[in-house]
Amino acid sequence: MDTTERVHFIGIGGYGMSAIARVMLEMGYTVTGSDVAAQELTEKLIAKGAKVYIGHTAEQVKGADLVVYSTALSKDNVERVEAERLNIPILHRSQMLARLLNERKGVAVAGAHGKTTTSSMIALVMEDCGADPTYIIGGEIMNVGTNAKAGKGDVVVAEADESDGSFLQYHPWLAIVTNIEADHLENYGGDFNRLKEAYVQYMNQVREDGAAIVSADDDNIASLLPRVKSSVVTFGIESKTAEYTATNIVLGDRQVSFTMNRRGEPLGTIALSVPGRHNVYNAMATVIACLRAGLPFEAIAASIVKFHGAKRRFQVLGETDGILVIDDYAHHPTEIQATISAAKATGKRIIAVFQPQRYTRTFFLLDAFSRAFGEADEVIITDIYSPAGEQQIEGVTSAKLVELIVQNSNPGARYLPSKDDVLADLKDRVASGDLVITMGAGDIWKTGYALAEHLRGRALK
């Protein structure tokens, strides 16, 4: 890769695209890009030296040596069409990331859940222990206020996205698989087996000196392991055969601790400053990856407790007059259950606010969604957040989901169509001892921020 090149990113403001752009800036490339609106991530790139255009025009790609685009971009985008006309090489975001990850020791984190948290944990621990990794993550690490960095070490940490099959571009040193579930099936012909085939290929693309690091507690992963030819390292809580296990798990208010064991022998205690049993799995994968990178267990344990999460992953937005407001990216039934379970450890009354994302996901997982809210004290469901261009599916509505939640898991579920409806409903009736958690991959986080701000203002009066 030639750092004298000018690389142009179409849709530079997205988390994945902005992360790659930031790393390439720090490596010495000239970076330009465009997006439909200015936002915090584009402002940070401008401060780093990127030239960012608001809006798309053909003129903006002229002079670029390479153009990078994301899955969200339409094929008729004027900048992409102009790049093709000018014969400028065009790469998908995953192909650009593959160039960065495959030329060094790539640590790629795949799975239905936990990718952002696990890759963030690994990056933070390696950074804190002096390994100086490059990292490219789909969410901001709260400790450092960024989602990417070009390090001088030989490790590159990144998320491996299975949603569109782009993780098959990678040939990592360590391939982590946190779990496998039937999601994004619209990109796999509605066939879960095709998604599982992709995971087998991903694990078999590990370098000869590397390994696949996988959860032995996940039945879908376990069913695939006989077909994995790479070296495999397993971890688990329930498994009796996993190489690494967790025992003495203590779940607390926004924290958790456990004993990490290898082949039955204790390595020591891991204490986390993030909650939930699901984070035990994320931490185990992190510890194993860092051990493989040559870091001592004691240093890993001392660093991992400093991790305070990634943005939109059980992110505390405010705590006022005994009312706690949290936001989480949970958009899949398993994630919702894990997030609500972690919230219960606070001892507060849980008001779960969920915004479904995509008609296709809601269609495929409607029954599972309806059974995910049992531990909440109260449930509010808003309208489905649908990306531009997605077709509505007849009969797939939030009102229908609420009917099924009432039947299958929580009679306290209600339907409030808009974010404004939710905010107006909660403003005047939340009380000390309540925990409001907004969940979803859309823009429901805005409601959480607005409520937290309202509560702070109310407390000052």
Q: Return the active site residues.
A: 115-116, 159
Which tokens belong to 116? 């952002």
Instruction: Determine which helix (DSSP H) or strand (DSSP E) holds 95, and give its type and residue range.
Output: helix 93-102
Q: How far is the C-alpha of 423 from the C-alpha of 67, rounded, in Å?
A: 41
**CA–CA distance from 312 to each of 54, 70, 139, 143, 316 (Å)?**
25, 21, 8, 13, 9
Cβ atoms of 18 and 149 closer than 8 Å:
no
> Under a CB-based contact definition with an 8 Å cutoff, are residues 417 and 447 in contact?
no
Question: Cβ(69)–Cβ(10) under 8 Å?
Answer: yes
Task: Write the CB contacts of 421 (distance below 8 Å, at least 6 apart in sequence).
Answer: 382
DSSP one-letter string for 330-384: --SHHHHHHHHHHHHTTTSEEEEEE--B-HHHHHHTHHHHHTS-TT-SEEEE---
Residue 188 is encoded by which pair of tokens? 């796999």
Integer-rounded Cα radius of gyration of the chain = 22
Written as one string, the DSSP assignment of 125-179 is HHHHTT---EEEEEEEETTTTEEEE--SSSEEEEE---TTSGGGG---SEEEE--
Of 159, 148, 154, 155, give the one whose Cα is nearest residue 202. Answer: 159
How many alpha carbons fall within 13 Å on the CB side of residue 22?
Answer: 25
CA–CA dist 42, 54 (Å, integer): 10
Question: Rounded distance, CA 35 to CA 56, Å?
Answer: 7
- What is residue 390's DSSP assignment? P
**C-alpha separations of 303 from 143, 193, 287 in Å:** 12, 39, 10
Report helix angle 297-304 to 115-128, nearest 10: 120
Amino acid at 234: T
Asked whether the beta carbons of 102 and 170 are under 8 A apart, the reply is: yes
Tokens 């099959």 found at: 165
